[in-house]
Amino acid sequence: MMQERTVKFINIVFIILITILVLIFISIYHFPNLVSKYFVLDQIIINGSKKSNTVKIKEGIHNHTSDLLSLDLHKIKEIIEEEKWIKRVNLKKVYPSTLVLDIIENDPYAIFRDQGKYYLLDIDGTIITQKNNDYELKNYIIVSGDESPLALNSIIKALNIHFSELVSQLSGLDFIERRRWNLTLKNNLLIKLPDTKIDDALENLKNLFVEEKVLQSNIIEIDLRIEGRASLKVDEGKINYGLNDI
């Protein structure tokens, strides 16, 4: 008998709790203003921001809503990621009154030169912002050519895989006719890559650098556009080598 009473009591308590939860849900869904005053957005915590405008971010969120409960995280994410320095943001509500933002910012890697204007690029080719300080241009690889930002990541990845030592020597990358790259090194050496089989060309280029000590030579141009051959131009003329002979 005692056990039956205990079971009945637990069932009653459970039903009451479920009923309360349902009533709360209905109230929140149909009458959000009744509870929103208890979830006013009082604090926004931003982590990972170094160059993005945190004041503007907070203003954008508060202009969207002052109520944490009804705040649309997807919409806020879209608003924040429109900021030029922000690559991604993760948001978390901490009830009753705090929103936490974990920001990943774009990292300037190169500068895109387009019709006399310069734009900071992330390594994935994202244009971050226009660049006005000409004295800082020397600190970045200069990228040029139609659609070059879209192809930047693939050429840097290929270089890192097949000839990583060359990356630190780069001063310019020119995307020719939207299909192939010319590389310019800090010593003004020009390297012309082919349209296809870039991996093979970079492996051959690495071998050529080792064999011929290119950086210490008077070679001013290396043309790898013809498969299996390297055309080397020096100050006083042009010399052709089959790669098997180098």
User: Does one domain contain both 84 and 116?
Assistant: no
Encode pLDDT of 121-150 as tens digits.
999 999 998 887 666 777 899 999 999 999
User: Does one domain contain both 116 and 225?
Assistant: yes
User: Does one domain contain both 96 and 180?
Assistant: no
Query: Among 105, 135, 166, which residue terminates a domain?
Result: 105
- Amino acid in the structure at residue 131: K
pLDDT beyond 80 at 31 = no
User: Does one domain contain both 96 and 209?
Assistant: no
Percent of the chain past pLDDT 90, that is, above it, reads 49
> Contact at 8 Å (CB) between 65 and 34?
no
User: Does one domain contain both 206 and 89?
Assistant: no
User: Does one domain contain both 234 and 146?
Assistant: yes
Residue 137, domain extent: 108-245
Average model confidence (pLDDT) across the chain: 85
- In this predicted structure, which of 24-28, 65-69, 109-113 has the lowest mean pLDDT? 24-28
Q: 190 - beta bridge partners? A: 184, 221
User: Does one domain contain both 168 and 238?
Assistant: yes
Encode pLDDT of 155-214 as tens digits.
999 999 999 999 999 999 999 999 999 999 999 999 999 999 999 999 999 988 888 778
Confidence grade of residue 7 (pLDDT, cut at 50, 70, 90): low
Mean pLDDT of 65-79: 86
Distance CA 130, CA 235 (A): 37
User: Does one domain contain both 170 and 125?
Assistant: yes
User: Does one domain contain both 173 and 208?
Assistant: yes
Mean pLDDT of 69-78: 88
> Contact at 8 Å (CB) between 218 and 203?
no
Count of structural domains within the chain: 3
User: Does one domain contain both 172 and 228?
Assistant: yes
Residue 135 is predicted with a pLDDT of 65
Residue 244 is predicted with a pLDDT of 45
Check which CATH number belongs to the domain holding 82 and give it.
3.10.20.310
Confidence grade of residue 30 (pLDDT, cut at 50, 70, 90): low
User: Does one domain contain both 129 and 241?
Assistant: yes
Residue 132 is predicted with a pLDDT of 75
* Phi, psi at 243, each rounded to 5°: -60, -30
Distance CA 188, CA 172 (A): 9
User: Does one domain contain both 143 and 199?
Assistant: yes
